[in-house]
Amino acid sequence: GAVVSQHPSRVICKSGTSVKIECRSLDFQATTMFWYRQFPKQSLMLMATSNEGSKATYEQGVEKDKFLINHASLTLSTLTVTSAHPEDSSFYICSARDRATNEKLFFGSGTQLSVL
Amino acid sequence: GQQLNQSPQSMFIQEGEDVSMNCTSSSIFNTWLWYKQDPGEGPVLLIALYKAGELTSNGRLTAQFGITRKDSFLNISASIPSDVGIYFCAGQLVYGNQFYFGTGTSLTVIP
């Protein structure tokens, strides 16, 4: 299957700092990428949909100024958690849609964010 | 976001037994995907379904797109220890771009 690379896999930061997470589709073009958040033993909650070259669409209750999304190219989307606080600690996962393979959705390996 | 109800929430089975789980929603979907997730990892795609009534297999896994377009089923035959993990369904609404996830089924296989 298609490969989605997500970095970093784990990050620990101090409260008030910003953290950037990268999501790359390595062997396909992804016009759409999705960002999810997952708490321990829970399901994946969709945060936002990122379309290449346009503004991201955020789900209800997700602060767009808190979670900045940039999708500048067909293979890269970034999520920046601004002024992180302990309650932002979570597992963040990106996914990318490969239009060439019937709209399948492939996931990165996730980023575990811990805010101290 | 959309609510996809997945059941059962957890299963404890003996190695060699078959497993069935399902995902239901009040909304109509045009795509259903089934994933397996191991701890600390991203979900891995198992099966993709695109048409109502579609039945698709991937080795010992078989999934079906419900004819009402509001549900989907996943079956695992002759389970083995490496089947252990959390299984998620994901659906894409008829009108929309987003994929929403089910609540997950935790599978434990006892050797």
pLDDT digits (tens, 9 = 90+) for A15-54: 999 999 999 999 888 878 999 999 988 999 999 998 888 8
Q: Are strands A111-115 and A10-13 parallel, antiparallel or unpaired?
A: parallel
Residue A61 confidence (pLDDT): 92
What is the C-alpha to C-alpha distance for residues A116 and A98, in angstroms, rounded to an integer? Answer: 36
Residue (of B101, B43, B109, B39) closest to B76 by Cα position:
B109
Residues of B in contact with A1 (CB under 8 A): 45
Q: Which residues of B touch A43 (CB under 8 A)?
A: 88, 101-104
In the prediction, which pLDDT does A54 show? 83
Residues of chain A in contact with residue B47, where contact means CB-CB under 8 angstroms, are none
pLDDT score, position B96: 74
Asked if pLDDT for residue A1 goes beyond 70, the answer is no
B-chain residues within 8 Å CB-CB of A104?
33, 45, 48
Q: What pLDDT score does B84 carry?
A: 96
Looking at residue A31, its pLDDT comes to 79
With a cut of 90, say whether residue B98 has pLDDT above it.
Answer: no
Selected residues 22-61 of chain B with any CB under 8 Å from a CB in chain A = 31, 33, 35, 40-45, 48, 50
Distance CA B97, CA B51 (A): 17
Considering only alpha carbons, which residue of chain A is nearest residue B36? A107
* Residue of B33, B42, B92 with shortest CB distance to A110: B42
Is B105's pLDDT higher than 70? Answer: yes
Tokens 């060439």 appear where? A100
Rounded average pLDDT over B16-27: 95
Query: How would you classify the pairing of strands B10-14 and B105-110?
Result: parallel
What is the pLDDT averaged over residues B74-83? Answer: 97
Which pLDDT value is given to residue B1? 64
Give me Rg for the CA atoms of chain B: 13
pLDDT class of A102 with cuts at 50, 70, 90: low
Element (H, E) at A99: none
Distance, in Å, from the CA atom of B2 to the CA atom of A45, rounded to the nearest integer, reads 10
Band (pLDDT 50/70/90 cuts) for residue B97 is confident
Interface touch B98/A105, C-beta < 8 Å: no
Is the Cβ of B85 closer than 8 Å to some Cβ of chain A? no
Q: Which pLDDT does position A109 carry in this prediction?
A: 93
Q: Is the pLDDT of residue A100 over 80?
A: no
Q: What is the pLDDT of residue A6?
A: 96
Token pair belonging to A80: 């920046």
CA atoms within 13 A on the CB side of B66: 18
| pLDDT at position A101 over 80 | no
Return the pLDDT at B40.
Answer: 87
Question: Mean pLDDT in chain B?
Answer: 93
**What's residue B85's pLDDT?**
95
Please give the distance of CA B60 from its chain centroid, rounded to a whole number: 13
Nearest to A105 among B99, B102, B104 (CB): B99
Express as a percent the part of chain B with pLDDT over 70: 98
Strands A10-13 and B99-101: unpaired
